Structure 1
Amino acid sequence: MIKKAKGRLRLLVSMLALVVLLSSCGGGSSKPENVNGEKVTLQFWTIALQPTFTPYFNRVIADYEQKNPDVKIDWKDYPYDAVTNKLLTSIASGSSPDVVNLNTEFASQMGSKGAVVDMNEYLSPEEKAAYFEGIYNSTVINGKAYALPWYTGTEVLYMNTKLVKAAGLDPAHPPKTREELSEWGRQVNRKLGKAGYAQQLVSKLFAIDGIPILNKEKTAAAFNTPEAVTMINNLKKQMEDGVILKEDADFAQQVKYYAGEQVAFELAGPTFINFIKTAAPDVYKNTIAVPVPTGKADVRLSNSMDLVVPTKSAHVNEAVKFAVFLTNAESQTAFSKAANTLPSTKDSIKDPYFTQSDQSLEAQAKVVSAQSLDKATDYMVGVPNAKDVNSAVTRAFQNILLNGTDTKQTLTALEEEVNDILKQ
């Protein structure tokens, strides 16, 4: 699996290099193309939103087309695993879409290669100020904003109250720090033989403890420190003690372990509820949501989806205008209500939907996470070649925590690898 992942990564890097080469030969037109009264057609791509949210998009697109009669939106939806390859292929072949839904990691990767436009060149100060600053800045590199933040999520702590009570713990007084969460996990393991929680071995583990990935200039790795060694060795001890499952568990695996009551806790955004409610209704009924325990850094990590406009778009001005419309407060509030996500716009959370709770699990998670949006930031904020850097960090964590390599030696090798990535 690792060899396949490396192969896919090399292919993406090669294709992205081709995209950059073609982009350097000239971008698309930024002028309206409305010859003889013909409509401008914008190609709009999203990730895995059909058919569940087709009614919402049909409404919002119809609304936009009514307000902008010279524009037609051609909406296409692709699976997550397919969209990046399809995007790079289309740009390289000269048939670029105009507005594309990407995650923050890949949006930053595209931006650092000059493959998407700088939104700061098109947005007014008022339009930029509409978004939460930390979330908007997640794709800002060297002063250039390569995406508009769209729907997002911040982590909350889900706990299975049945298991917590059986372990002799009081869910009415949940852990407030990562250290306290570790102690709760140890007690769950001692009393019940289950783990505290599962997690994915990604770069956010640095951010939780306030360990910077890169230096302030974003030119070199900055994580090879005694603090990082201590943090990673602490994670290793927690895995040995059963606090954390000894595994690199992606989101689907985390859902599986929580649904099967193999773990007592889950740290995730509000969308986790949609999966657990379907997979394990009884576990859902026993679950509550509370504020996420903080690490040494008092930050709230966001997991955002963004909208980008490729530089090869033939209709950049119109594309940016449509992206702004999709991410304005009105549109984001409506989508959040339909999709159980969080908005990235400040005015959206003034809606009572984000402040009032009926004590359902959905409402608990929504209110708790919405309250943290003003502190939210992406853990890869401002990192050039973010996708490659995160992949390198993940492999290093796997080698240390799962394969037993030396922490300091592996961090030193990772430092060299990240520095090489930054030179690409």
Structure 2
Amino acid sequence: MRLARGSTTVLAAMTAAVLALSGCGLGGSGTQPGNQSVTGEIKGQVSFQTWNLKSKFGDYFTGLIAEFEKQHPGTKIEWLDQPADGYADKLSADATAGTLPDIMNLSPDLAYPLYQKKLLLDLDTAAPEAKKDYLPNAWAGYVMPSADPALRRNASFPWYLNTGPYFYNKQLFGQNGLDPNKPPKTYDELKEQALRLASVSGGKVAMLGQTPGIEDFGLFGVPLMDEGGTKFTYNDTKGVQLLELYKAMYDAKALLPEALSATYTGAGAKFLAQQIALSSGSAYDLQKFRTDAPGLYANIGITEPMSNTGKANMYLQGLSIAAQSKNKPTAIAFARFVTNAKNQLAFAKIVTVFPSTAGTLDDGFFTAEDGTDVGRVRVAAAKQLANAVNYTPVQLSDQMKTILRNEIANAMLGKQSAKQALDNAVAQSDKLLRPNG
């Protein structure tokens, strides 16, 4: 199930405590067409673009940059911070104009089109020693798909991760025939409990507030694309099974009817109003429950997301290097400085995100609860990240997401079968994948 509220927002911060890079040289070579060998001293100016950070972390980043420049005399970091709205459009415009910054804060889906146009550095080749410093699943999250295995290369240094446990309303469970201490762990249990809850409540309480998104198909164990990333495959037998499961819940009023709207964003408010019993979110939401809905807060249960794969969904942010940067050594050095283990741990202690560096999640900050709401969620979420996966294909555009939601809505309404809905969504999305689609 998708995050109903508090899905990963673009947050980033870094601490003034830094880990100096040893030496002043940096070597490597790029294999992606257009990349050049990365050699030379760490000196000179580079531009560093972030995504909606300045309003909260302006002083912090200013200090961070000053520390790097102090450690590397002769360097200068030009910090560019863009608003969240229109960030993808700004990247596209800069790509067209040939003015991309040296270092860019990118999610995998934003990195993909730039990499396809050969505008991002291949980091597997440019910085081969870096891979070992990050969680394997975080590094893999930025490996760009290609029909040619040789071109499946990493396009970003992983920066920070996020995921979320699921919240459920113990009172609504107990009042409507469910065990408040046994939330659903499997999709079969989800269906069984959702139908019972809707029946006992006479359709007044729904279990869920959203139809499935692409990540739900991934969690269910549906293969989303072929190995080369050339076509979508979520219309297989398993995909149909998941959609039919949601159809059964919808028919029983265990799924909010408003969820069929492609623009519906009210599931969080419904959970807050105790009209749905199960939702997903973050520590921010738990704090909101405490202040805005104390009755709900007193009955909140926390559980792991349902998954047939045993792997939770993961959201990523990273730092990519422009292939045409005129100062790649300094760009790579600063990107690795921002994303090193010491800085990522310090960053995670400031905001509610998680480090992508190897071994950092073993720190007691992520393994021991501290008696706070944030601590409860942090520990629960950190357990999921060791083997979590970014299920959303990087090729999946917003247009493709809308197509999928519309076809799912038609299936929920009985206008077409689950199989036909997914076949239609796959056909339309595959057409968009082709350059002349």
Does the TM-score normalized on the shorter chain lie above 0.5?
Answer: yes
User: Residue 54 of structure 1 corresponds to which residue in structure 2?
Assistant: 58
8 Å CA contact retained: 1:53, 1:339: no
8 Å CA contact retained: 2:168, 2:183: no
Aligned pair partner of 2:191 in 179, 182, 185: 182
Aligned pair partner of 1:283 in 296, 313, 329: 296
Residue correspondence of structure 1 range 14-163 to structure 2 within 5 A: 40-125=44-129, 127-140=130-143, 141-142=145-146, 143-163=152-172
Secondary structure in 2 matching 1:205: helix
Residue correspondence of structure 1 range 177-256 to structure 2 within 5 A: 177-192=186-201, 193-199=204-210, 201-246=212-257, 247=259, 253-256=266-269
Summarize deviations over 1:142-183 as a string: whole Å, max 9, x none: 421112222212231112333333335443333222222333
The answer to whether 1:171 aligns with 2:180 is yes
Identity of aligned residues (%): 25
CA gap of 1:421–1:210, structure 2 versus 1, over 3 A, is: same
Per the TM alignment, residue 385 of structure 1 is displaced from its structure 2 partner at its CA by: 6.0
The one-letter code sitting in structure 2 at the alignment partner of 1:263 is I
Separation in 1, partners of 2:156, 2:264: 24
The answer to whether 1:263 aligns with 2:276 is yes
More helix by percentage: 1
User: Residue 364 of structure 2 corresponds to which residue in structure 1?
Assistant: 352
Per the TM alignment, residue 89 of structure 1 is displaced from its structure 2 partner at its CA by: 1.1
CA gap of 1:275–1:201, structure 2 versus 1, over 3 A, is: farther
User: Residue 422 of structure 2 corresponds to which residue in structure 1?
Assistant: 411
CA gap of 1:164–1:213, structure 2 versus 1, over 3 A, is: same
CA gap of 1:412–1:264, structure 2 versus 1, over 3 A, is: closer
- When structure 1 is superposed on structure 2, of 408-417 and 336-345 the one drifting more is 408-417
Separation in 1, partners of 2:132, 2:400: 29
Summarize deviations over 1:191-243 as a string: whole Å, max 9, x none: 44221122364211220121111112323332232222222121111122233
After superposition, the CA RMSD in angstroms is 3.0
8 Å CA contact retained: 1:116, 1:310: yes
Gaps of 5+ in 2: 1-31, 147-151
CA gap of 1:305–1:396, structure 2 versus 1, over 3 A, is: farther
Secondary structure in 1 matching 2:355: coil
Secondary structure in 1 matching 2:95: helix
8 Å CA contact retained: 2:137, 2:388: yes
Q: TM-score, normalised by structure 2?
A: 0.80
CA gap of 1:173–1:289, structure 2 versus 1, over 3 A, is: same
The answer to whether 1:307 aligns with 2:319 is yes
Per the TM alignment, residue 350 of structure 1 is displaced from its structure 2 partner at its CA by: 2.0
Per the TM alignment, residue 378 of structure 1 is displaced from its structure 2 partner at its CA by: 0.5
Per the TM alignment, residue 310 of structure 1 is displaced from its structure 2 partner at its CA by: 2.5
Number of equivalenced pairs: 394
Aligned pair partner of 1:293 in 290, 306, 313: 306
User: Residue 349 of structure 2 corresponds to which residue in structure 1?
Assistant: 337
Secondary structure in 2 matching 1:231: helix
Per the TM alignment, residue 260 of structure 1 is displaced from its structure 2 partner at its CA by: 2.4
CA gap of 1:218–1:95, structure 2 versus 1, over 3 A, is: closer
Separation in 1, partners of 2:168, 2:364: 25
Per the TM alignment, residue 33 of structure 1 is displaced from its structure 2 partner at its CA by: 9.2
